[in-house]
Amino acid sequence: MVPAAGDTNSQSTRVVITGLGVVATCGIGKDAFFDGLCSPAPSGPRRVNDFDPSQWFGPKEVRRVDRFAQFAVASAQMALDDAGPLKVDPDRAGVSFGTGMGGLESLENQTLMYAERGPEAGAKRISPFLIPMTMPNSAAANISMRFGWHGPSETITTACAAGTHAVAAGASLIKSGRCDVVITGGAEAVLTAVSIAAFTNMTAISTTGIARPFDIRRDGFVPAEGGAAILLESLEHALARDAHIYGELVGSASTSDAYHITAPAPGGAGAARCMELALISSGLTPSDIAHINAHGTSTPLNDLAEAEAINKVFGIPGPPVTSIKGVTGHALGAAGALEAVAVAMTIERRLIPPTAGYEEPDPEIHLDIVYGAPRAWDPGPVLSNSFGFGGHNGCIVLTPPAD
């Protein structure tokens, strides 16, 4: 019998990471991605120019799937391939995927075509697949259909925290006993003219095209696209097939600032509480955390608030901190998933990637920023932060695999 969600007898189930897939401007595939994180950052919007959807979709199918969902399916397939041979009960296999804005590119393209051709001619040319292409849940749906998995297929849309919340939700499906395996992650493709204009007009985007997390010269984020997927399994399921284990997801938390639709709460109060709850969920103390993968968007208010929150929880300066957004840019709903893959690879490679763009310290920020070059370390528990518009806060804690 399948245990019901929330079954207290199965809450001790341990959740491990056994597969990684990623599509990012700095690399497609886990190894190319991590190598890119340790290399000089590009400039300007972070487009994935070398992504070829024909590797995963036929010529007819590709026209019916928005770019963000293409990223999701591609990264999910890579994660499954990375995990090795997998026999799973389809009813106990689920999907939990995040996105901030769904199929915005398809919607904008079709809207422009309609406007150019006029109401009569334009209406006839609107794709009958436009609605399923724009649905935020189309990424999770396409993954479920691709692999024939009949367990829960769910979508998280909590802005820039969506990827992290999706990973936490996927882990909960396993901890509850509902699923043995879950593909989780996030995807985003919103580098459209209207989207960039909107972010520019709200003064969120860097005017220099350079992301400088925590640097005193930071002036906004650099928009990005991409996707990342993680295969989660119960420890028992992974051990039974002798799977390679990258790490264990030991805890998570979610809070709301309930303060402002875009600005963080003063002093990072909501973020600090989220970190504290993630530690409690993990059974860890602040001194146990060996590294923090920060949200670090390169915006003046958000970086300062996150730094203050980290200091409240961990003291000054606290554990070594990095933000990979100096390289990846900010992929909104995919960001937390990209960062979860980065953490798993950080543990695997025993190397913390540097914070690209960070050169001049901000006297108001008191953190141990990893910058200039990768930093070798002895892997320990890692906290990964994501904080989204609307005051959505998400944190997950990953640890190295047990001996």
Query: What residues are annotated to the active site?
Result: 160, 295, 330
Q: Residue 45: how many CB atoms within 10 A of its CB? A: 15
- Using alpha carbons, select from 44, 48, 22, 43 the residue that is nearest to residue 33: 22
282 contacts 381 by C-beta, under 8 angstroms? yes
* Nearest-angstrom CA–CA distance, 224 and 192: 11
Residue among 391, 395, 389 at smallest CA distance from 101: 389
Please answer whether residues 154 and 96 qualify as being in contact, where contact means their C-beta atoms are separated by less than 8 angstroms.
yes
- Which token pair is 182? 């879950």
Q: What is the Cβ-side half-sphere exposure of residue 51, based on CA atoms within 13 angstroms? A: 29
Cis, bond preceding 317 (omega within 30 deg of 0): yes
Question: Collapsing DSSP states into helix, strand and coil, what is residue 275?
Answer: helix
Q: How many CB atoms lie within 10 A of CB 54?
A: 9
Q: Are 223 and 42 in contact (CB under 8 A)?
A: no
Q: Whole-angstrom Cα distance, residue 31 to residue 25?
A: 13
Measure the CA–CA gap between 143 and 169, rounded to whole angstroms: 16
**Spatial distance between the Cα atoms of 185 and 22, rounded to a whole number of angstroms:** 9
Q: Residues 247, 345: contact at Cβ < 8 Å?
A: no
